[in-house]
């Protein structure tokens, strides 16, 4: 957890220039600090140190911590669920397609850095609601929309019988992550094993097909 967003309109132009490389260097250093310490505990001095630049250089690219944090979130958005939801409506095996999707989606979510990113965004969403909105829009909402399009195509083809593809897509995604990602998110458990993921996703797919397979 997609559409690419402009990260920072005030920063120097990209296109592989030295300025772009420096900006990426700053963003990566800041990402490490924000994900490790959260927004409030992160300081521009710590970010400059992690990025290997001076504070003066930092302020050339970003006017304040809020703008820099926004860039980090948008960078995370740009790679959320990249390629995972590229479903082919022509694929005749819906069960196998959902199994692949659920497994890839869960593996993606359960990376430690993804849980850290989500915790950081949730913690700041009240103070910076636009960031929360964009993160959701380019992450979970994007995945639901792509899966819903696939389910509608399969319903139109007579393979599935789904009255509300958006709700069905959200149900499937929630079922996939409920016992797998949520414990990781709250630091209740480590990332699940491949066997545990296969077991849980298999159940999710069987439940989904029992509810929505056309008869």
Q: pLDDT of 19-53, one tens digit each?
A: 688 888 998 898 888 878 888 888 999 999 999 99
Residue 81, pLDDT score = 56
Local structure of residue 188 (DSSP, 8 states): S
Partnered with residue 160 across adjacent β-strands are 213
**pLDDT > 70 in the chain, percent:** 87
Read off the DSSP letter of residue 160.
B
Single pTM value for the model? 0.76
Cα–Cα dist 139/74, whole Å: 10
**pLDDT, tens only, 70-96:** 887 777 666 655 678 889 999 989 999
Q: What sections of 43-164 are H helices per DSSP?
A: 44-51, 55-61, 65-78, 94-109, 112-124, 129-138, 140-156
Name residue 213's beta-bridge partners. Answer: 160
């Amino acid at each position: 957890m997609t559409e690419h967003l402009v990260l920072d309109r005030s920063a120097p132009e990209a296109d592989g220039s030295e300025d772009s490389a420096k900006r990426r260097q700053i963003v990566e250093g800041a990402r490490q600090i924000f994900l490790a310490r959260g927004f409030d505990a992160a300081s521009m001095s710590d970010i400059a140190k992690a990025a290997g630049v001076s504070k003066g250089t930092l302020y050339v690219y970003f006017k304040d911590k809020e703008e820099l944090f926004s860039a980090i979130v948008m960078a995370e958005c740009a790679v959320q669920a990249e390629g995972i939801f590229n479903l082919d409506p022509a694929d005749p095996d819906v069960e196998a397609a959902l199994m692949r999707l659920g497994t890839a989606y869960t593996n993606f979510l359960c990376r430690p850095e993804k849980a850290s990113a989500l915790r950081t965004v949730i913690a700041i969403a009240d103070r910076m609601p636009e960031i929360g909105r964009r993160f959701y829009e380019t992450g979970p909402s994007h995945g639901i929309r792509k899966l819903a399009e696939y389910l509608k195509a399969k319903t139109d083809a007579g393979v599935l019988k789904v009255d509300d593809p958006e709700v069905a897509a959200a149900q499937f995604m929630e079922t996939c992550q409920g016992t797998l990602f949520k414990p990781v998110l709250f630091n209740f458990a480590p990332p699940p094993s491949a066997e545990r993921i296969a077991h849980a996703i298999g159940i999710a797919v069987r439940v989904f097909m029992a509810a929505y397979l056309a008869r």
